[in-house]
Amino acid sequence: MILTVTLNTALDVTYRVPRLLPHASHRVAAVTERPGGKGINVARVLAALGHEVTATGFTGGPVGAVVRELLARSPGVVDALVPCAGTTRRTLAVVDDASGDTTQFNEPGPLITPAEWAGFLAHYETLLAGARAVALCGSLPPGVPVGAYAVLVRAARAAGVPVLLDTSGEALRRGVAARPEMIKPNAAELAELTGSREPLPATRAARRRGAHAVITSLGPAGLLAATPEGTWQAAPPRALTGNPTGAGDSAVAGLLSALAEGLDWPERLTRAVALSAATVAAPVAGEFDPGVYEELRLAVSVTDRSGS
């Protein structure tokens, strides 16, 4: 089983409008709702790839009830979410059909009490006993300690379970120091962590801070990975337009699934890039287009950057 942790779960709402204009009223052409938060998106993609996956994190209130109801309709995903007294947040993505661009609005999430956090830690340690790998994903809801991911990384390491950490800011800085198996920042998050805006030296600098491997998202240019076995850059054969919401989460699912299957780094990166691009091409946030994935999986280019 692969375990995904989404401390700040969400109800992802996507609006499609013919054209998004400031200071104007808009007629929404289509509305979709999905259980969301980064780790929930990762879980759905892992299940679609055929892996057993369990999703945990906090959920609460009327919005949380909708999240759990919708998650129950996600084939292959086991719901191990922990109730909280606060209300799960919503995220709103507005897709402009004319340009293909997406505008995102993210609520902060519920206030988590110390007792709720302590209960979650006990629950998490129980789940680790059956896990082959763990994804720790997304923002921290209010009330959760800023060093929460460092605590979760150390617990997984103590249980012998490899961890992929995908977060940002101070939560990432502290989490890296706990020595996770992988981190997957984007270029801006990496620059904030290391102080360098040059992706290759910054990726290697992040490894020196404690991560076993650092996989940096370069947006349409793909992924850059610095690992103990070498450094590679993987890129899709062409740029795709669409909704990028969840594309990074699909990359995480690709990396974790390939790790669980024992694939080497070039194969891991190929899968992650193809899944990420196929998510951009999908009509709904957090989904991926299987046809585009199969097409791109055979066309992703992987370049050895070890000597750079």
Q: Which residues are catalytic?
A: 249
Work out the angle at residue 68's Cα, subtended by the Cα atoms of residues 66 and 73, and round it to the nearest 5 degrees: 100
Is the separation of the CB atoms in 8 and 138 below 8 Å? yes
Residue 269 CA, chain-centre distance (Å), reads 15
The amino acid at residue 281 is A
Amino acid at 148: A
The C-alpha atoms of residue 192 and residue 214 are separated, in whole angstroms, by: 14
Beta bridge partners of 135: 4, 164
Burial string for 85-113 (b: 16+ CB within 10 Å, else e) reads ebbbbbbebbbbeeeeebeeeeeebbebe
* Residue 128 neighbours by CB under 8 Å, 6+ apart: 3, 134, 155, 156, 159, 161
User: From edge to edge, which strands make up the β-sheet containing 10-17?
Assistant: 30-36, 10-17, 89-96, 102-106
Smallest CA-to-CA distance from 99 within 252, 261, 241 is with 241
Evaluate whether 149 touches 171 at the Cβ level (below 8 Å): yes
